Amino acid sequence: MKKSSETKEIKTIKKDKRNFFYMLTAPLAGWLLFLIYRLKVVKGKNNIPPEGAFIAAGNHISGYDPIAKFFSQKRQLRYMAKVELFKIPVIRHVVKWYGAFPVERGAADSNSIDKAVEILGEGKVLGIYPEGTRSKNGELGRFKTGVAMIAHKANVPIYPFAVYSNKKKVVPFCKYTIAFGDPITPEELGIIEGTPKEYHAAANKLRDIVAELQAYCREVRG
């Protein structure tokens, strides 16, 4: 049974790499971010495992964040994206190629939760922005509980990350910065029974971790 499970995971990883559009455009776009936005990973680049399911969760300050994280650690991430993007011609195809799936913002979308758990069950990586939206000024917002719920249901670790710009927005020649933290399990976040109270406390704890990573980015790059 173990051999079968491992074989399935390996096949899943190979399937991810066949996304020609993603594999062609993401590295090129990443180099542009490196050159124009001075993208730099200042912590934890080697924390990310080369295979296996996990959630990458952190703050959101720019539309470039998904590309920046791919360029920084090379795993293809699947994302929840606002459903409005899937109604725009051309854009809807691009976000699908980049592994996004639709979610109704501000709603308890059980289908999106189920889809997220399914993706993780296939050995893939799920990227989540627990704030639920992009920060307009770079400040860290409140974390929603969905990330804790998904981690518990899928029984996978969370790899926290922080993105930072020394400007209020990610603009040319700013110091666009990423830091990755150590993995943390649902149990380490205090999730035992999967109650709303546990999810809320876990979301707050995860936010504190991301805030520390963001502060480290600020200390290193000013």
- On whether the CB atoms of residues 160 and 209 are closer than 8 A, the answer is yes
Host H or E run for residue 43: strand 40-43
Q: What is the mean pLDDT of the chain?
A: 87
The CATH number of 2-221 is which of 1.10.10.10, 1.10.3720.10, 2.40.10.340, 3.40.1130.10?
3.40.1130.10
Of residues 70 and 197, more confidence is placed in 197
pTM: 0.86
pLDDT in tens, 137-176: 889 999 999 999 999 999 999 999 999 999 988 999 999 9
Domain boundaries, the chain: 2-221
Judge whether residue 21 has pLDDT over 60. Answer: yes
pLDDT in tens, 53-68: 999 999 999 989 988 9
- Spatial CB neighbours of 91, under 8 Å, sequence gap ≥ 6: 85
Which of 142, 146, 115 lies closest to 131 in space, CA to CA? 142
Could you tell me the pLDDT band of residue 34, with boundaries at 50, 70 and 90?
very high
Burial class of residue 1, CB neighbours in 10 A (0-12, 13-18, 19+):
exposed
